[in-house]
Amino acid sequence: MYLAGVIPGPTKPSTEQINHFLAILVDELLQFWNPGVSYSRTAKVPYGRLVRAALIPLVCDLPAARQMAGLGAHNHSQVLCSCCHIKPEDIENTDRSAFGLRSTKAHRAAASAWLNAQSSLDREQMFRSNGIRYSELLRLPYWNPVAYVVVDSMHDLYLGILQRHIRDFWAISSPRPSGEMMEFGLDQLLHGTERDLRECGKGVLYHLCSDRGIRRAGTVSILLKNLGRWRQKEGLPKPRPAGSTPLAFPESSSRTMRRTRARVVSKEELDTAELLLSTTASCNSFAKKTNVDVLIAMCASRKLDTGGKKRGAEHTNVSETVGQTATARGSIPDLIVDAPQADDAQMAGAGVEEDGRQLAHALFWKDSDGDEQPLPGTAALGRETMREYVNDRQRIELPRWVNPAPVAFGTSKHGKLSADQWRTVAIIHLPITLIRTWGTESGRRLDMLKNFLHVVDAIETLGLLEIDEERIAHAHAQLVKYLEGVKELYKGAKLQPTHHLALHLELFLRFFGPVHSWRSFAFERINFLLQSINSNSKFGELEMTMMMTSCRSANLRPLLNAPVVRLAMPIFVHELERLSTEERRGMRLDEVKRLVPDLLPRQEQKKAKEVRLDAATLSGLAYRLNHEAPAPALAAEGNSARPRLTNLSPKAQVVPKLDVRGVFYKPWKTALGDSNVIFHHPYTSSQSAGRIEQIFLYRRRSSDGTTLEETFLAVKQLMELDEADAVHDPYRRFGRVGGRLCSAEYRPEVLILRPEDVTCHFAKTTMEDMNLCRSSPGEGMKKLQQTYIHVRPLDRVSKSYICVWTRMYNAALYISY
């Protein structure tokens, strides 16, 4: 992969202006396609080679993909989906077969008509009617605007569906209008026309639906449509009783609605704003540096009006009351972030304590009656659940390649989460906490948990590094279950284009194989690296600086990887790698390293320390080697019970860490997270969980006299629950996304593994307060109070070393759309 060019700033090209830059790229691609480009000589082919190239998938976020392909925005009524003809009013239909796929021929015809239009007005009318404009990519004879504009799974699944579920679906709340306004809306519902109802506004329509158990997601038109069905069923509207008059529209509702809810403002934010206020003379300067929530908190602390907009708050003469700190209750959140908590002392580190305290208190605010209410963003989770999330996060052990979830992901303190962090929160942390807290309940909470785990299962399956038809079908079925569940559980939740587009991912998986090869993690990383380049920030020079720096970096990296350079300049290479800004965690690097062609594990190349293996390890090694041999031939040194067997030497060399496809495995005394592994051993009948005690290099003589040098891992296996206890494990009910509980004890024997026996790491969570109930004859249900270990495998392939690629379908299968 290389950087082809940088589009000049300061802003992105608008609509069809992108074609001027695409034309340069397309000119070269046409030459590479036919007749191709002949190179007289290459590094490996001294007599030259003919090279042909084609542009197939277009990988970018949704707005960029639409612009590059010549399609309207995702909210355009005619091109809500780039794959099919679904209309906005049908967005909740999960039966993808109900909407025909778009035709490449029809798309090209519409784009050609737009290009040949006589005037800009004609083009605008055409675009309004079909959402299609011309793209330079259509000059490529093979390019398919339907099948090649892929749905990027990074933006669609992690930043789209998962984020929306946690932030929106679990926090659906619409401020209820005044009693006068609701009374007026009810009158129009019973006796008015559809036009009268429309004048009530979305807030009233939303709560009219909510009060009657009607689905309340979507625009005003959709709400009216839902209410219309209900009115038809109930025989409404009916004439007003004789002598009664229609209610008048409340005058107070025509004013700007008072802001009744805001996010919690931390003490640090408030102190910073107060300092800024006392040192700034200009209202405009103060307003630009202060957000509206802080302004409202400052007004409320001075008992000033908190209604209106930001401009109104900034011009209020708050400077006259700088010394007043009384906090008004009712219209804003009560600032309770500093109230003490008994659980804080259990949290390790001052930073964790502060974050945990903020989570525990920032999730609720006090209304005008002094009652605590959940803040927007945490309505479903609540204070107790989020406190349990914080506790579980402190107890979990993760390998270093996993990008850890932030402690304060539910507050504004942390800020924006990356796609990788949303994955860690939703795929690893929340299932562990929610199954423990919601999994034993019944009713709505359990239904919400099952619904959430449907989408977790679907997204995990779609993100596997290997895929087949069975898994594609499973992921699609889970997505459909999830969306149908959302419509039933969250009647105020509006399905978005991202939800519909996810239903088309099965199409692209069949075209291009596993998603890691056509999603935008790598490209977003390049964007970040480009933004990190030192420059003078002058447009016109900035673009060339980025291009030249990128080329120099691309040329330098292979030079530094050359063995002769690494041998000649080892200290320089080591320091350069240490100071590199490259992120070494997360899915992107994990999947890149897992797919390198080298299948052999590598241990760290340092001077090895020689050790003597203990009796348990040596006995385990003898068992393993004898199990692999046709007949037992080896015994641990000093084993007098079997004198005819050759004794194994206890001498070995310590291996600090083992690198298998970029995934590092270490002993538990060195790195707890990197030592927890899922493995298979001849001694065990199935996949087991355990920790690495030791990694060592062992030399021995084979039966034919040659010297063998092999790497082994000594592990101890976690004790599994017996069958009677396992049936009461709430996690096992949810399959692989739930994981399982094990006893918090390790078996005494040491098992010896080869690197290929290790399947993956697992997330290990110690649960000291987990109670399982077990039925005993004559005693009924009995609580088992003991410490458990939760095991959540982190495998993304069936085997660690072999990635089976799905065979791509014949090109004719999808070019004909």
**Do residues 217 and 494 make contact, with C-beta atoms less than 8 angstroms apart?**
yes
Residue 759's SS3 state is strand
| pLDDT band per the 50, 70, 90 thresholds, residue 807 | very low
Ramachandran region, residue 353 (left: φ > 0; alpha: ψ -120 to 50; beta: rest)? alpha
Highest mean pLDDT among 213-217, 366-370, 635-639: 213-217
> Does residue 667 carry a pLDDT above 70?
yes
| pLDDT band per the 50, 70, 90 thresholds, residue 449 | very high
Taking the C-alpha atoms of residue 591 and residue 797, their distance in angstroms, rounded to an integer, is 10
What would the mean pLDDT of 723-751 be, rounded to a whole number? 92
**Do residues 302 and 318 make contact, with C-beta atoms less than 8 angstroms apart?**
yes
Residue 677: the pLDDT is 96
Taking the C-alpha atoms of residue 563 and residue 567, their distance in angstroms, rounded to an integer, is 6
Query: Parallel, antiparallel, or unpaired for β 634-636 and 646-648?
Result: parallel
**pLDDT higher at 542 or 797:** 542
What would the mean pLDDT of 381-408 be, rounded to a whole number? 86
Residue 577: the pLDDT is 74
> Does residue 251 carry a pLDDT above 70?
no
Residue 525: the pLDDT is 82
Is the N-terminal amide bond of 246 cis, ω within 30° of 0?
Answer: no
Taking the C-alpha atoms of residue 110 and residue 128, their distance in angstroms, rounded to an integer, is 12
**pLDDT higher at 367 or 498:** 498
> Does residue 106 carry a pLDDT above 90?
yes
Residue 642's SS3 state is coil
Residue type, 749: E
Residue 688's SS3 state is strand
CB atoms within 10 A of CB 305: 13
**Do residues 154 and 520 make contact, with C-beta atoms less than 8 angstroms apart?**
yes
- Residue 379 has phi, psi (to 5 degrees) of -60, -40
| pLDDT band per the 50, 70, 90 thresholds, residue 195 | confident
What would the mean pLDDT of 331-359 be, rounded to a whole number? 32
Could you tell me the maximum CA-CA distance found in the chain, to the nearest angstrom?
A: 113
Residue 256: the pLDDT is 38
Using CA atoms, how far residue 14 sits from 61, 69, 128, 390, 472, in Å, is 16, 13, 17, 44, 37
Burial class of residue 688, CB neighbours in 10 A (0-12, 13-18, 19+): buried
What would the mean pLDDT of 751-761 be, rounded to a whole number? 93
Query: Parallel, antiparallel, or unpaired for β 396-397 and 758-767?
Result: antiparallel
Using CA atoms, how far residue 254 sits from 249, 258, 407, in Å, is 9, 11, 42
Written as six digits, the tokens of 638 are 């000093």
> Does residue 368 carry a pLDDT above 80?
no
Taking the C-alpha atoms of residue 794 and residue 673, their distance in angstroms, rounded to an integer, is 12
CB atoms within 10 A of CB 27: 11
Report which secondary-structure segment, H or E, holds 528: helix 521-531
| pLDDT band per the 50, 70, 90 thresholds, residue 177 | confident
Find the range with the poorest average confidence among 181-195, 530-544, 635-649.
635-649
**Do residues 259 and 296 make contact, with C-beta atoms less than 8 angstroms apart?**
yes
**Do residues 294 and 271 make contact, with C-beta atoms less than 8 angstroms apart?**
no
Find the range with the poorest average confidence among 111-125, 286-300, 424-438, 570-584.
570-584
> Does residue 371 carry a pLDDT above 50?
no
| pLDDT band per the 50, 70, 90 thresholds, residue 644 | low
Highest mean pLDDT among 351-360, 533-542, 687-696, 793-802: 687-696
Taking the C-alpha atoms of residue 497 and residue 812, their distance in angstroms, rounded to an integer, is 28
> Does residue 340 carry a pLDDT above 70?
no
Tens of pLDDT, residues 254-281: 443 444 444 556 677 787 788 788 777 6
Residue 510: the pLDDT is 94
| pLDDT band per the 50, 70, 90 thresholds, residue 16 | confident
| pLDDT band per the 50, 70, 90 thresholds, residue 785 | low
**Do residues 8 and 540 make contact, with C-beta atoms less than 8 angstroms apart?**
yes
Using CA atoms, how far residue 124 sits from 73, 120, 186, in Å, is 14, 6, 42
> Does residue 433 carry a pLDDT above 90?
yes
Average pLDDT, the chain: 79
Taking the C-alpha atoms of residue 136 and residue 765, their distance in angstroms, rounded to an integer, is 53
The domain ranges of the chain are 15-149, 161-173+338-514, 174-240, 265-332, 525-594, 602-793
Residue 307: the pLDDT is 62
Residue 786: the pLDDT is 81
Find the range with the poorest average confidence among 425-439, 575-589, 600-614, 697-711.
575-589
H runs (alpha helix) in 251-366:
267-279, 283-288, 292-301, 310-315, 350-362
| pLDDT band per the 50, 70, 90 thresholds, residue 728 | confident
> Does residue 37 carry a pLDDT above 90?
yes
Share of the chain above pLDDT 90, in %: 39
Residue 274: the pLDDT is 83
**Do residues 279 and 292 make contact, with C-beta atoms less than 8 angstroms apart?**
no
> Does residue 105 carry a pLDDT above 70?
yes
Find the range with the poorest average confidence among 215-219, 237-241, 294-298, 782-786.
782-786
- Residue 689 has phi, psi (to 5 degrees) of -115, 140
- Residue 2 has phi, psi (to 5 degrees) of -145, 160
Residue 413: the pLDDT is 55
- Residue (of 237, 66, 799, 204) closest to 464 by Cα position: 799
Find the range with the poorest average confidence among 265-274, 505-514, 723-732, 734-743.
265-274
Taking the C-alpha atoms of residue 336 and residue 332, their distance in angstroms, rounded to an integer, is 12
Report which secondary-structure segment, H or E, holds 372: strand 372-374
Taking the C-alpha atoms of residue 622 and residue 632, their distance in angstroms, rounded to an integer, is 9
DSSP 8-state symbol, 161:
I
> Does residue 31 carry a pLDDT above 60?
yes
Using CA atoms, how far residue 545 sits from 432, 534, 556, 636, 776, in Å, is 47, 8, 16, 64, 74
**Do residues 32 and 53 make contact, with C-beta atoms less than 8 angstroms apart?**
yes
- Residue (of 55, 66, 73) closest to 151 by Cα position: 66
**Do residues 383 and 360 make contact, with C-beta atoms less than 8 angstroms apart?**
yes
Taking the C-alpha atoms of residue 759 and residue 711, their distance in angstroms, rounded to an integer, is 16
**Do residues 336 and 372 make contact, with C-beta atoms less than 8 angstroms apart?**
no
| pLDDT band per the 50, 70, 90 thresholds, residue 784 | low
H runs (alpha helix) in 173-288:
179-191, 194-198, 202-211, 220-234, 267-279, 283-288
What would the mean pLDDT of 787-814 be, rounded to a whole number? 54
Taking the C-alpha atoms of residue 143 and residue 55, their distance in angstroms, rounded to an integer, is 7
Using CA atoms, how far residue 45 sits from 41, 406, 664, in Å, is 6, 50, 36
- Residue (of 759, 769, 768) closest to 793 by Cα position: 759
Burial class of residue 230, CB neighbours in 10 A (0-12, 13-18, 19+): middle
Report which secondary-structure segment, H or E, holds 521: helix 521-531
Share of the chain above pLDDT 70, in %: 77
H runs (alpha helix) in 323-372:
350-362
Which residues are CB-contacts of 790 (< 8 A; sequence separation ≥ 6)?
432, 731, 739, 740, 741, 742, 763, 764, 765, 766, 767
> Does residue 383 carry a pLDDT above 80?
no
Taking the C-alpha atoms of residue 65 and residue 69, their distance in angstroms, rounded to an integer, is 6
